[in-house]
Structure formats: C-alpha cells, structure tokens
C-alpha cells in the first residue's frame, strides 16, 4: 500500500502544505499512532514530521517526532532506503535533530549498498 504520513498533534495538513490534496496524507497525532500505523501498513512513501507532540494522557510530555525518527532507524526493522521526508516542526533544534538522524542513516544505507 502506497501512502504518505503526517505526524503532528495540532496542525492540519492544510496549515503546512499549499496543495494538501497532492499528498493524500494519513494523519497521525501521537508517537504511538505513528508506530502502530507503520507497523500495520509498512513504510510510507513520504513522512512529514512535527517534533513537539504535546502531552500524553497523564499530562506528561509525550514522546516526540525525534523519538518517532529514532524508532524508524533503530527499532522498526524496515528498509528505509526509499524514505522521503520533510520536517515541518517549528522547533529548530529538534527539527535539525530529526533531519540529522535521518540524513546520516540514509547516507549510511547508500554507502553500504555501494560497497
């Protein structure tokens, strides 16, 4: 199944993308929904990441977009070679962490496939 995933606790796709219908996003609002959806449906073609995902049911800071990216890299067991993504988080430090992790890992995969 081919799909795109939008991870954000508050924003709508229309708030981030000029032509949202071009993406046909599945929207997930929490880290757990992100993990569950990918586990059930496989790797999306494209992921749009927010970082700060609000509070959980107990009022604690919820796992964030960086945790979601770490799950993809370290725990999902998926081949991330075809992954395309964008980080739309307003948190510049966290956005750079997500980009850094994914860019470095994807570069590692490309280097492995060359040699």
Per domain, the residue ranges of the chain are 4-114
Tens of pLDDT along the chain (115 residues) come to: 699 999 999 999 999 999 989 999 999 999 999 999 999 999 999 999 999 999 988 999 999 999 999 999 999 999 999 999 999 999 999 999 999 999 999 999 999 887 6
Look at residue 57 in the predicted model and tell me its pLDDT. Answer: 85
Q: What is the CA radius of gyration of the chain?
A: 14
Paired sense of beta strands 46-49 and 25-28, if any: unpaired
Spatial distance between the Cα atoms of 13 and 86, rounded to a whole number of angstroms? 13
Look at residue 1 in the predicted model and tell me its pLDDT. Answer: 66
For domain 4-114, the CATH superfamily is Response regulator (3.40.50.2300)
3-state helix, strand, coil in the chain (%, to 5): 45, 15, 40
* DSSP secondary structure of 86-100: EE--S-HHHHHHHHH
């Amino acid at each position: 199944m081919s799909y795109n995933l939008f991870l954000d606790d508050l924003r709508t796709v229309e708030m981030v993308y000029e032509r949202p219908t071009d993406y046909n996003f599945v929207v997930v609002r929490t880290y757990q929904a992100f993990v569950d959806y990918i586990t059930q449906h496989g790797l999306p073609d494209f992921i749009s990441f927010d970082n700060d995902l609000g509070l959980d049911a107990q009022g604690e800071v919820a796992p964030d977009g960086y945790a979601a990216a770490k799950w993809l890299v370290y725990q999902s067991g998926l081949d991330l070679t075809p992954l395309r993504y964008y980080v739309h988080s307003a948190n510049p430090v966290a956005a750079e962490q997500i980009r850094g992790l994914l860019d470095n890992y994807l570069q590692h995969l490309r280097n492995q496939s060359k040699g």
